[in-house]
Amino acid sequence: MTLNPANIDSRSKQVLAGLFLSKFDEAGLSALGFETFTEAFNALGYGLGGRPASIKNYRDEFDPLFPNKRQGWRNRKRRDYCIRIEQDYRDLGFDDFAQLIGSLVNTANLEATIDASEDTAQTDASSFAKRLITGKAAEQYFINRFDTLPEFTGYELEDTTSIGCGYDFRLWPSQGTDFKAVEVKGMAERSGGLLLTNKEYNSAAKLTNRFFLVVVRNFRETPFHTVHANPLAGSLSFIRRERVIVDVSWTSTV
């Protein structure tokens, strides 16, 4: 059994997500902060670099093994690699399994959270996991589709999510040096609160027409996107919010 996400291949990650949702059913959904399986399929499918249908298919394949209301693939032989994963992880407890699923999604970019109406200090672990997974799913959604969007046709993509530059991607033209900066946000509903960090806001203010905000909406049902060029000068209205965080530490002398 491997618990280090870096050592688990992409297909196995998707199989594990399906196994978790089958084995723990509604409790598994709740642990990840999702209310419906469709939302989980969408977020985990895109977040793990696959397709929502793949997560559903893996869940259905495991369903005959566990007591739930679904029939699953009762009359279909399970694939050998699915059998091996179920055997390898069958003794993993609920909490550890939920933590593993959350860690399978690359959540290095912790600024990919949205919904400014939530106080993150009061957010429970499941809601936090959901925002991180949805944020990564939105990024992967954009990676899969950016070259079909008229704003970015003919551009090459550079992933900047891990370098903290105030946006997720640089889009480079085939000729010239003026890149376009893209910040991607994910949203469970069709509409809701949207949060820009101070670094993202300052990047948008500096780059103006070269900064694009892409919002991937409605992971609860069927994701779709909207593109906002120069979002600080458009129809969106941003309100400055400040929060003071008290950091408590304890010291001793030896």
Q: What is the DSSP string of 25-40?
A: HHHHHHHHT-SSHHHH
Looking at the structure, tell me whether residues 91 and 138 fall in a common domain. no
Last residue of a domain, one of 53, 85, 104: 104
Looking at the structure, tell me whether residues 131 and 162 fall in a common domain. yes
Last residue of a domain, one of 104, 125, 142: 104
Whether 125 is covered by a domain: the verdict is yes
Residue type, 11: R
CA 13 to chain centre: 14
| pTM passes above 0.85 | no
Looking at the structure, tell me whether residues 178 and 157 fall in a common domain. yes
- Measured N-to-C along each axis, helices 94-104 and 125-145 cross at an angle, to the nearest 10 degrees, of 30
* pLDDT at residue number 117: 44
Whether 197 is covered by a domain: the verdict is yes
| Cβ count near 174 (within 10 Å) | 7
Q: How many CA atoms lie within 13 A of 202 on its CB side?
A: 6
Instruction: For residues 177 and 207, give the distance between their C-alpha atoms in angstroms, rounded to a whole number.
Output: 14
Looking at the structure, tell me whether residues 66 and 80 fall in a common domain. yes
Looking at the structure, tell me whether residues 170 and 84 fall in a common domain. no
* pLDDT at residue number 4: 84
Q: Which domain holds residue 84?
A: 5-104
Provide the phi-psi class of 164: left if phi over 0, else alpha when psi is between -120 and 50, else beta.
Answer: left
For the residues of 72-106, what is the DSSP string, one character each?
A: -STTSPPPHHHHHHHHHHTT--HHHHHHHHHHHS-
* pLDDT at residue number 116: 44
Looking at the structure, tell me whether residues 57 and 40 fall in a common domain. yes
Looking at the structure, tell me whether residues 79 and 129 fall in a common domain. no
* Runs of H (alpha helix) within the chain: 10-32, 37-47, 52-62, 80-89, 94-104, 125-145, 198-207
Looking at the structure, tell me whether residues 116 and 138 fall in a common domain. yes
* pLDDT of the chain, 254 residues: tens digit per residue: 788 888 899 999 999 999 999 999 999 999 998 999 999 999 999 999 899 999 999 999 999 999 888 878 877 888 999 999 999 999 999 999 999 998 888 654 444 444 444 444 445 667 777 888 888 999 999 999 999 999 999 999 999 988 889 999 999 998 878 999 999 999 999 998 888 999 999 999 999 999 999 999 999 999 999 999 999 998 888 999 887 878 898 888 88
Whether 253 is covered by a domain: the verdict is no
Looking at the 3D structure of the chain, how many domains does it have? 2
Whether 248 is covered by a domain: the verdict is no
Q: Are 167 and 158 in contact (CB under 8 A)?
A: no
- List the strands of the sheet with 169-173, edge to edge: 155-159, 169-173, 180-186, 211-217, 224-229
Q: For the chain, give me the number of helices (H) and strands (E)? A: 7, 5
Q: Are 105 and 136 in contact (CB under 8 A)?
A: yes
Looking at the structure, tell me whether residues 98 and 120 fall in a common domain. no
Whether 251 is covered by a domain: the verdict is no
* pLDDT at residue number 107: 52
Structural tokens at position 91: 């003794």
Looking at the structure, tell me whether residues 81 and 138 fall in a common domain. no
* pLDDT at residue number 95: 93
